[in-house]
Structure 1
Amino acid sequence: MAMYLRISQDKKLENFETLVNHRTLLESFACKNGFTFETYEEVLSGGSSELGKRPQLQRLLNEIETFDAILVVELSRLSRNGLISETVLQYCKDYDKPIITPEKVYDLANNDHDVLTFRFGALIASQEHALIGKRSKNNKIQMARAGLYISGSPPFGYVRNPKTKKLEIKEEEAETIRYIFTLHSQGLGSFKIRDILNAEGYKSATGKYFNLSSIKRIIKNPVYKGWTVFHDRKKVKKEWQVYL
């Protein structure tokens, strides 16, 4: 059978220890019942709501006819996304492959009640996932409103105070930032600013000479205007949420 294991890096309570615990549980269950198995496991970051971003699950489905069943800790391990759950369901029905958990066998090809249970569980998991995502986003918005920096590595010229979670000026780099904006205020473009900085020996955060893209990013970065910005990466600039 196919043993499928999945954890999400976005969940605070899930880590590699969780993956090991799930693997140990399923291996013990399989050995106790005399099952032979091949393991498919993946650690996901982000929602991974598209099957194309779930290579191990996709591989399992492509090879499903070579197995007798799918073994998981619980149904939600397969997916918290409704579309992916329906895809898994269809494969199981088409190839007559049950899903086995330590608690129950779901005969999706022959038992309508199991299909209903599977779909209901998938719906609950999907709604829970959406609710967690909404809470996480709202929490980040509140942090941004409070002036906390939540966007990963701090921009050049700043450090993030681990206690206050706010940006603080890194003076040895801030001098370079001030010079960039002084040159920009004089009407110089990114090309000319880059050339001046490199000719005068200024270095970037990596200790290398400045390139054109880094100059453009600095000039366009709203953090240097004193703004805290929270936005989804897929949104265009006009949809950014900016907090002064």
Structure 2
Amino acid sequence: MGVAAAFLLFLLSGCLGAAALNMPVSSPFGLPATALFPLLSGLFGTSTLLESLRGGASVPEQHREQVSLDPGEAGGAIAMGSTAGSLVGFLPGMSGGVATVIAMMCKKEPKPSFVILTLSAINTANSFFVLSALFLILRPRSGAAIVVNELIDAVEWNGIIPPPDLVLLLISVLIASCAGFFLTTFLGGRFANLIPRIPYDKLVIGIIGLIVVMVFAFTGLLGLLMLSVSTAVGMIAPNIGIRRSHAMGVLLLPVILMLW
């Protein structure tokens, strides 16, 4: 039942993407317009926010606890996450969430700390490998890689020594990762104490309102229609007990049809 429901959601979101991506969206204010904005915002943004409102979700009080993880288990999580992250960096259509699901299939009943460590390793490895893929196969595999590809002329990596631009980019990623670690350690606890004081319902409603305004500003009334339909499709997944990631068919099915 779960497999059939996931397949149907994949087909439904894929048909939505195939139809919407061929529609001529335009901004009433002359801003850059793309149908992906309302589609992805509805499938994975507003649908999730509305579900949290309906379920009465709230941010609980945060308490700092010392987490201990066996060195061998930590090494396994890092190795597993790094391997999955490298696949995300090279293979099209794979996200960090998909890589995490694949990695978790290799571990029975993983601890929350193991999942967090694996996900962190996936995202860190992906940052390195997505840049390497840009210079190895000359194809960007992420939004950041697309921006980098527009800013510099990526030279194909043929020899043993990597291109100078790639070396500088990898050094930048390493510095940013180290800085992010210390900033997260320093600011994480402070923000954790602050967030429970914010009215959750008002925050969610405000974010939904901001998304609606931005969708109208960038894609007009047609974009609002796409946002409404994609939100309805995105709310199907949690109500029938499957993962919302199956709605990535909104991109994968049109790509499959285009390459068929």
For the aligned pair, the TM-score class normalised by the smaller chain equals under 0.3
Greater per-residue helix proportion: 2
TM-score, with structure 2 as normaliser: 0.25
Greater per-residue strand proportion: 1
Larger RCO (alpha carbons 8 Å, 6+ apart): 2
